[in-house]
Structure 1
């Protein structure tokens, strides 16, 4: 087979970025509906400076008892929308960046290239989608009470409009710096680890025509989702604190990412920078397991119908 034929075959056996984006968005919808309560608990724990909540289960039971079970799904609309768009952008942009970093002769992608592509996808999603959606979500989640008429923000659209009116458009990008650091590092680790676990555990290589069973994808996704929260805990806590504070109320407690880290460390101790880690570990690895189980099946269906048949 000539070089031209090999090149044509390689192009045929590549999953297009739009299919990666579609698979990620479908996975994001399923993940959001399943795991929203864990995210609400994580946010409440990270914002708790007075020790109101004694732990994950106490926080969940307190919210349910005092505000109703539905309160555990506060912020679901922006969260589900944000996850759907985030995963579409993440998976699509990562596919584009991976293609750019592949060796032009062999078509292979190095681990270094995979990490850079993942970091780039994380930075892009953080700036375009994650930060404004999470600002709205966190403002909604931090509200306590049962009566809608007593709440400052009546819903995601009302919340976004109030933030823009009172704090300016940039108010929707509060906490952008730690969000970029968190998401970039997370995605660099996640894409690299997911590929590594697929190869080590199941002998599955990208676009080799083999489709993992959903339980196999869940195991690989779960394991790949563990490292990020541990490494990026301080960025996540700082992000939450910066997003939660309103710029319309006078002097800000936290002036920026580094000031917030120093202040939290001085006032609450080193362990406070990892507040909410356990609920993050309860949410992110299972979330990645769910997302990858769905995404791998969607891309697997494309592989079976198009790529595998094209190479027969």
Structure 2
């Protein structure tokens, strides 16, 4: 009886510890997500405008100049409310799933419970890919609303007054399918993008831990920022063309003459016919400029929050 009671107590402790770990992962992920939005939103606005309005903007600096001219500096933060809430939730889901996957593979590798799991590149990629697919359920609608707000100009011509008005109008006319417009390229981007994202970051962290014998919490903030920036580059350099397709699909009309593309394949075909291969890389400059500060902010926010919560 005493043995059974002790086993039950151990199981309860593990369950409670797992639940608390998950809560910490979510909270720390939210901190990282908010930091990411605040650091990266201006770059993202320019990127989306270049991706979806090639006839209006000649290049990055032209997009910056015209955005300031038409909307003021506040134009760079158009549509920020949605990602500030949504990306915080998205990043919390990403880190929750990736940390759970890392622990799963750690147990599969027979890693002692008191040691950080050292995973293979394949395991790290799968962990990130799983996080990306889980994240896409939220990121699809969040980014759909954000890009529609980012590409519209201010004033009487604006179709949507804000994120809530945008969601309401789309849902009222096109239902859930309208909210999830562009979801197929979103899932593809998230799967590969976050597979590469977390592979790059975690591989760098693991290598540093192996070289120095230091715990994860002892890695300097400077290195966390550098590794986060590298993760951002790994994600976007391998996923940018599908992000272009996603943005074009999400800013396309819903029906009739306003709809340019019948689907993702049609979007790829028409983009290539009109713009060539270059069309799949429009806006990559602000995207890569954003990758360093936004993702450095994400990981330093997450790591600092985890250290504070532990």
String of CA shifts for 1:9-67, please: whole Å, max 9, x gaps.
Answer: xx6998823212211111111221222111110111001231x3222222112111122
Q: In the alignment, which residue of structure 2 is the partner of 1:308?
A: none
- Equivalent residue number for residue 307 of structure 1: none
Aligned-residue offset at 1:89:
0.5
Tell whether 2:179 aligns with 1:179.
no
Compute the displacement of 1:269 (Å).
0.5
Q: Which residue of 1 aligns with 2:63?
A: 59
Q: Residue 112 of structure 1: CA displacement?
A: 1.7
Deviation at 1:102, TM superposition (A): 2.9
Distance in 2 (alpha carbons) for counterparts of 1:251 and 1:40 = 22
Size of the aligned set, in residue pairs, is 292
CA deviation vs aligned residue, 1:252-288 (integer Å, no higher than 9, x gap): 3112122211111111111111111111111123211
Q: Does the CA contact (< 8 Å) of 1:79 and 1:133 recur in 2?
A: yes
1:191 has 2:195 as partner: no
Structure 1 pair 133/162, CA: closer, same or farther in 2 (3 Å)? same
Q: Secondary structure at the match of 2:159?
A: coil
Task: Tell me how far apart the structure 2 counterparts of residues 186 and 101 of structure 1 sit (CA, whole Å).
Answer: 20
Q: 1:217 to 1:114 in 2, by over 3 A?
A: same
Unaligned runs of 5+ in 2: 1-6, 112-116
- Residue among 91, 111, 119 paired with 2:129: 119
Rounded Cα–Cα distance in structure 1 between residues aligned with 2:273 and 2:67 = 29
| TM-score, normalisation: structure 2 | 0.86
Equivalent residues in 2 for 1:78-227, closer than 5 Å: 78-104=82-108, 106-107=110-111, 108=117, 109-126=119-136, 128-145=137-154, 147=155, 149-201=156-208, 203=210, 208=215, 210-227=217-234
Deviation at 1:88, TM superposition (A): 0.5
Partners of 2:27 and 2:92 within 8 A in 1 = yes
Distance in 2 (alpha carbons) for counterparts of 1:176 and 1:28: 21
Q: Does the CA-based 8 Å contact 2:205-2:216 persist in structure 1?
A: no
Q: Is the 8 A contact 1:199 1:205 kept in 2?
A: no
- The change in CA–CA distance for 1:284 and 1:249 in structure 2 (over 3 A counts) is farther
Across the aligned residues of Structure 1 and Structure 2, the Cα RMSD in angstroms comes to 2.5
Structure 1 Cα separation of the partners of residues 285 and 243 of structure 2: 13
How many Å separate the matches in 1 of 2:211 and 2:38?
29
Assess, with a 3 A threshold, how the Cα gap between structure 1 residues 159 and 213 changes in structure 2: closer, same or farther: same
The structure that is helix-richer by fraction is 2
Provide structure 1 residue ranges, at least 5 long, that are not aligned to the other structure: 304-312
Which digits, 9 at most, give the CA deviation of each residue in 1:178-201, with x for residues without a partner?
111111111111111111212334
Correspondent of 1:258 among 252, 265, 279:
265
Query: Once the 2 structures are TM-superposed, how far is the Cα of residue 209 of structure 1 from its aligned partner?
Result: 5.6
